[in-house]
Structure 1
């Protein structure tokens, strides 16, 4: 076996074999090690389904690549992976489920995933064994189906070997050591002993420039060896196989086609044919997390005892949907561990805080995702970036605050929600509240309905405090939820009087030291602000795309306060610190970086009466002028005193109105909230949540990271030319220029349906052709219609261009608006007083 390779892949399931295959295809010398046998983890007992359905743009691309790739393996390797292209039928019992499928339809269109809608009558005509009497319709993917997990894994392994990959079984990783230029991975030979797999004591060191962990159920052990946190913990998943169904056998004997994979989402199960019988796979309540800390040595290709009582409801609903299955006996059963993460998406990308260490962990749909994961992860490793934005799957979307208990409980919740309606405005309740800002109880008293971002409780909107008993604050919808009217009133208050938004979840870093200025000047694309001023700027990837958005506040000559998105704290911190380390290693001056996110709270105060309100509580020798344009101009910062609270005030407003961000030592949060409210009501102050803020920022065409801004578009494509200083050198500059303009970010005003707004997932069309996709959407109180932001072909980005946005399976008129359609000259923001 090899002891020096470019890349070492740890884990021989479907994901690991795909990663090894694609790295080898890209030209890297690769080795794969597996502690037991290939497919001996969750792969061997997977049902092998290949569902294209996914609300995530990145995950949809991953699944689509897998389905297309698996169809090519037999021609390349000579191994038949057992791909049954029977289609995938997602049935709907309710109109709300059909609404979900209509939203997905638009997402699928943006990714080029073919699909059809079927009526109950059409389903019954094609598959008469189905009971369709209580169905509203279905979404049908005729191009996918299911595959044999072991066979597809072996096919990828053979393809990898043919490309030079060394695959070695019975080797367990016992240690990882980074030398500064490579990883030394200590492997122990494993041997059979009494039916168990145990270490032999014989060690081998392998040197690798890069390591990929695809360790599945063993992710917690991997995390301990690496000294990091990986929120991938298995949950029990059981499925049963029936004896042959005589009516199904007869149906097939008559020459009829195989049934598609059936998904009765409202009953929480999938069913497919298996040797004349049926496989039922439920996603029931109460499935427990397992292996929170380690997988026992005695557990190999093993299973847990079946708990039929737990899935009785799902089993009976299968009989209802397939009446011929009622008299069919059970042939086999499986209850095995399948890894989950708190949001259900896998962890794919660089490991937090480590160099050249890559994770491919937490796959609840591992067979579906394996092919695409190998493809896109190899792109990230070899080329620096993938062709799609993989940030939504980045392992650093979870911070160091996350615990094992949190991951286990959220993973159980995620399993339970596989078939529960995935509303875009859903908020799941497990492990909440967890991280709370100082004024949390005050906000609840005002009717705050909380969402969660990066573990923080954050008001989404403020509902009625004296709501009637039948008012449902948890009402969700694919159209306008119960919260819509309250968010609208909040947005109107910001435009007409004043609103206060708790933005304490913002990520905040302090960067200082002799090398800080030179580092940040190269790290970001805009001019650095002068002392006392602020600038909006962007850190780029080496491929020239947008890695992070920062508001930079210059506190002193070599001291900066960086503000970025609250959902991406660990993601931003890792990139910032590693980039600074590289700068210092290459001769730059010393830099001191601190994550001060939890040390500073933030209230954003915005609206026409914001200055008058603050004038009542600011303490200054000349309080009537301290907030004037002369003493406190737009895009500047001042240290001020509000009552007894010291405040780092920043003259900026994400809502596009006169306003300030009030950054305060977190322990003053409750005092400052009460102080503002002591004078707020006479100035029309209203508490405002994240949903209204999201609408308001679109009226100003303010791009949001994770929506308009990401690693698949450059700042120039995002239309941020005014924040790019081409007169200086900065990271990713030439790559950004060389990329050119592939698509352009635009703001659209939409004449949409009366009861639905875009969610930022919809397709944009011109003459029936897909020409782009929305990345944000909502309602505009300034224009009285729907609004959205997204990317279109450059030739369609001119102001006034008429386009269509697909919502509820219909095309709605849209027009490209000027950038910042509300107050394009920023007169309201700059107003003096």
Structure 2
């Protein structure tokens, strides 16, 4: 066995073999894969092998599409038939709302170049007469995917990897990882049979690897323990049954009938496909338990759990309804095996939190579909430093090490499993494990009708519904169109534009960066000029490729002390990048101290034409009338003030584009401050405002949002933010940014859409002649213009005010016009208003 390699991949399932293959194909000629048992002996061997092409996630859809295209090339390269049956994928809808969901899915698919077609019930019946269609509204059909043999595709990728120089070692288990400063020492133990179990022997070897990738599947909790981190990848039981031959199906095929596509009956929580004259039924039922929360027993190898038929009885009866001819078919075989999940259903792909050159590829609930694309894009991350798509939504650090626990992961993964086939509204909020992280004012906000969203574990008001509404009000209000919450968000947005509103922004990520090296480091780390003491700047930290890695508001507190504010959803993601960058440069710039103070400071954002009036009533100052004037407290400045008895670090900035302040306060004083502001605001009609209205308002100002317009697939110049890039100085990623140029450009669009719907930010953009030219990254409603609004990317020649485009919404093209940057108050006169 080799004892020194460039990259060591731990795990020999479909995902691990794909990663090894793609690392070799990307040019790394010293890659080794180790598997504790046999290749495919984890969840791969009992997977159903379905290849659903698209997903609500832009990144995951790209990954799935790559896999489907890639698997079709394997036989030519390796000589092994991967068993890919390109029969298509038929997603049926029993309700109009399910069709709305599919129309949004289709819009996302379009932005990734995934083909599809719509079928009516009659068209379904004409193609596949065994399917009962009388209760269907229609279906979304992808003819390019289908199903594959999981073991065969894994062996084909393994052969392709070997042909490219990868070493594959079976029956070796990783038993320890130690970072040596520039490489990992990985202790491997030879695995041996003992009483039917697979156990480590005394034979060990230490392999030195510059990079390590863990693709350990069901063993992710054991991996996490050895690495000293939390990985929220825990398996959940998944059942499917194989039925005996269906005579009607056999006759249908004998007389020339084409093989049925994978039949997805989402409203019945099941999928069905043909299997040698019979059918396979797979289900996503409620109450499927998580397993192996604390590790996989030695006795569990390529094993299964007992079948629980009572749990899937309703899905079985639904299958008989959908394919009546199968009623007399007997049960041929059954499977109930572990399938790994994560709380949001997307895998964990990317650098491990807090560790160097340790890469995770864990938590694949659709592992066969994702394996090929994961290998391709993760290899890009490792070899080139970035992938061609933004992989942030899959980054393992989206679940913070500070609060994520095994219990949380297990319960959320169970929820995710039984939510596979629910209606996935874009405003979906899942209830399990909530509330978990709450700011002090949570109970007060709830009592005032707050309907909460989930952000990095925090409860954050999405909007304020009617007082006395039932607990399930928010759930009942969801829709793919304008849900029950829509009018409440409209009223909140108008309150800020016309009067004053108060927003809870406590979830913001907050860091203190200080020390002798802090100024030089931040000047190199970010692309804008650093502010003077008492002032603020918006700036960006870039990737090695010059794209946007993180957005910061930087407040300069002292000469070498800074307060950094970034997106609340990305605390660990930002912290890890910031700390590692500082560690790398400390020898050059001097000592740098970084403190994550997110949970120490609450934040209220007060905004609107009357916001100064509210604050003036409670500020303690020798001259309250002028304390908040432009002269004493100018726009884009920060001051320490006192509101009643609460010390506040106030920042004159507003994400809504109105006159306003962010009020950063000691979190233990939050309830006092909330009550004080609420009482003072009553005289001015102050309204509590949620995140949905704020999202609409920031689009009226063309304020880019990280994770939407800002990400690792576009530079700040492509985001059309040259005013925040100081090309006169040297900064990380500058050369790459200048080399990249402007391939696409962000713009804001006003949209003449349907009367009952707004874009969600996943839709494709077209020219009037029907040529697809870009995609939306944000969407919503504008109270200032009385119509839908969106932001997105198109080619630079189209990102010009007045350009006429089309937006795909609800399977129709609607007129859209590129507007000026910051269409509401483009000269910032409102936000600079004096008093």
TM bucket normalised to smaller: over 0.9
* Separation of aligned partners in 2, 1:50 and 1:289: 24
> Where do 4+ consecutive residues of structure 1 move more than 3 Å?
466-474
Residue 655 (structure 2) aligns with: 654
Alignment of 1:640-651 (within 5 A): 640-651=641-652
Structure 2 partner of 1:620 = 621
Contact in 2 for aligned 1:750/1:812 (Cα 8 Å): yes
Partners of 2:80 and 2:472 in 1: how far apart?
59
In structure 1, the residue corresponding to 2:307 is in which secondary structure?
A: coil
Task: Work out the CA distance in 2 between the residues paired with 1:358 and 1:472.
Answer: 38
The answer as to whether partners of 2:54 and 2:114 remain within 8 angstroms in 1 is no
Q: How does 1:327-726 map to 2 (within 5 A)?
A: 327-400=328-401, 401-467=403-469, 474-585=476-587, 587-726=588-727
Q: Distance in 1 between matches of 2:230 and 2:547?
A: 28
Whole-Å separation in 2 of the counterparts to 1:471 and 1:733: 49
Contact 2:351/2:360 (CA < 8 Å) preserved in 1? Answer: yes
Report 1:102-117 matches (<5 A): 102-117=103-118
- Is contact 1:241–1:277 with CA below 8 Å preserved after alignment? yes
The question of whether the paired residues in 1 share the 8 Å contact of 2:474 and 2:485 is answered with no
Partner of 1:248: 249
1:344-391 CA deviation, whole Å, 9 max, x = no partner? 000000000000000000000000000000000000000000000000
Q: How far apart are the structure 1 equivalents of 2:112 and 2:709?
A: 17
Distance in 1 between the 2:739 and 2:552 partners?
24
Hey, what does 1:19 align to over in structure 2?
Answer: 19
Q: How far, CA to CA, are the matches of 2:679 and 2:24 in structure 1?
A: 65
Aligned residue in 2 for 1:142: 143
CA–CA separation in structure 2 for the residues paired with 1:413 and 1:321: 26
Superposed CA RMSD in Å reads 0.9
Residues in 1 aligned to 2:34 and 2:453: alpha-carbon distance in whole angstroms:
42
Deviation digits for residues 390-410 of structure 1, max 9, x if unmatched? 000000000020000000000
Inter-partner Cα distance in structure 2 for 1:669 and 1:201: 58
Match of 1:2 in 2: 2
Distance 2:54 2:322 in 1: 21
Do the aligned residues in 2 keep the contact of 1:245 with 1:276 (CA within 8 Å)? yes
**SS in structure 2 opposite 1:619?**
coil
1:543-584: CA deviation from partner (whole Å, max 9, x where unpaired)? 000000000000000000000000000000000000000001
1:785 alignment counterpart: 787
Q: Is the 8 A contact 1:498 1:609 kept in 2?
A: yes
Q: 2-side partners of 1:805 and 1:582: how far apart?
A: 45
Judge which range, 450-459 or 472-481, deviates more: 472-481
1-side partners of 2:621 and 2:25: how far apart? 67
Residues in 2 aligned to 1:162 and 1:97: alpha-carbon distance in whole angstroms: 46
Residue 732 of structure 1 is matched in structure 2 by 733
SS in 2 for 1:289: coil
CA distance in structure 1 between the aligned counterparts of 2:575 and 2:589, rounded to whole angstroms: 19
**Aligned 8 A contact 1:606 1:659 in 2:** yes
* Cα gap change, 1:739 to 1:472, in 2 (>3 Å): closer
Separation in structure 2 between the aligned mates of residue 133 and residue 649 of structure 1, nearest angstrom:
62
Q: 1:186 & 1:626 partners in 2: Cα distance?
A: 64
Distance 1:473 1:747 in 2: 30
Superposition deviation, residue 16 in structure 1:
0.1
C-alpha separation in 2, matches of 1:53 and 1:319: 27
Q: Is the 8 A contact 2:54 2:65 kept in 1?
A: no
- 2:308 — aligned with what? 307
Q: CA offsets, 1:74-122, max 9 Å, x none?
A: 0000000000000000000000000001111111111000000000000
Deviations 1:157-203 (A, max 9, x none): 00000000000000001100111100110000011111110111111
Quick check: 1:525–1:537 contact (8 Å CA) kept in 2?
Answer: yes
Per the alignment, residue 278 of structure 1 pairs with 279
Deviation at 1:470? 10
Shift of residue 622, structure 1, vs aligned partner: 1.2
- Give the aligned partner of residue 831 of structure 2: 829
Contact 1:238 1:336 in 2 (8 A): yes
> CA 1:139 to 1:31, structure 2 compared with 1: closer, same or farther past 3 Å?
same
- 1:776 — aligned with what? 778
1:474 is paired with a residue whose SS is helix
Partner Cα separation in structure 1 for residue 108 and residue 174 of structure 2: 40
How far apart are residue 624 of structure 1 and its match?
A: 1.1
Q: Which is further off, 291-300 or 459-468?
A: 459-468
Are 1:100 and 2:101 matched, yes or no? yes
Distance 2:260 2:146 in 1: 10
Equivalence for 1:815? 817
Change (3 A) 1:451 1:185: same
Question: What TM-score do the two structures reach when normalised by structure 2?
Answer: 0.99
Query: SS at the partner of 2:185?
Result: strand
Q: In the TM superposition, what is the alpha-carbon distance from 1:282 to its structure 2 partner?
A: 0.4
**2-structure distance, mates of 1:560, 1:753:** 46
Residues 289-346 of structure 1: CA distance to partner in whole angstroms, max 9, x if unpaired? 0000100000000000000000000000000000001111000000000000000000
* 1:185 aligned onto 2:186: yes
Question: Contact 1:507–1:568 (CA<8 Å) still a contact in 2?
Answer: yes
Is 1:806 matched with 2:808?
A: yes
Post-superposition Cα deviations, 1:782-823, rounded to whole Å, max 9, x if no partner, equal 000000000001110111100000101111000001000000
Q: Equivalent residue for 2:72?
A: 71
TM value normalised by structure 1? 0.99
Structure 2: 5+ residue stretches without partners: none
Q: Deviations over 1:745-787 (max 9, x none)?
A: 0000000000000000000001201100000000000000000
* Aligned equivalents of 2:326, 2:431: Cα separation in 1: 36
Q: Contact 2:88/2:141 (CA < 8 Å) preserved in 1?
A: yes
Q: Deviations over 1:222-264 (max 9, x none)?
A: 0000011100000000100000000001111112110000000
> Quick one: distance in 1 between partners of 2:716 and 2:472?
47
Residues 677-726 of structure 1 show CA distances to partners (whole Å, capped at 9, x for unaligned) of 11111112000000000000000000000000000000000011000000
Q: Write the distance in 1 (CA, Å) between the matches of 2:640 and 2:796.
A: 43
Alpha-carbon separation, structure 2, partners of 1:759 and 1:813: 16
Tell whether the 8 Å contact from 2:54 to 2:60 is kept in structure 1 after alignment.
no
Q: Distance in 1 between matches of 2:470 and 2:108?
A: 37
* 2: CA distance, partners of 1:255 / 1:158: 35
Question: Which sits farther off after the overlay, 273-282 or 471-480?
Answer: 471-480
For residue 471 of structure 1, report the CA deviation from its aligned partner: 6.0
Question: C-alpha displacement at 1:469, in angstroms?
Answer: 10
- Partner secondary structure for residue 584 of structure 1: helix
- Structure 1 partner of 2:759: 758
SS of the equivalent of 1:795 reads coil
Cα separation, 2, equivalents of 1:667 and 1:468: 30
Counterparts in 2 of 1:475 and 1:139: CA distance versus 1, 3 Å: same
**SS class of match (1:828):** coil
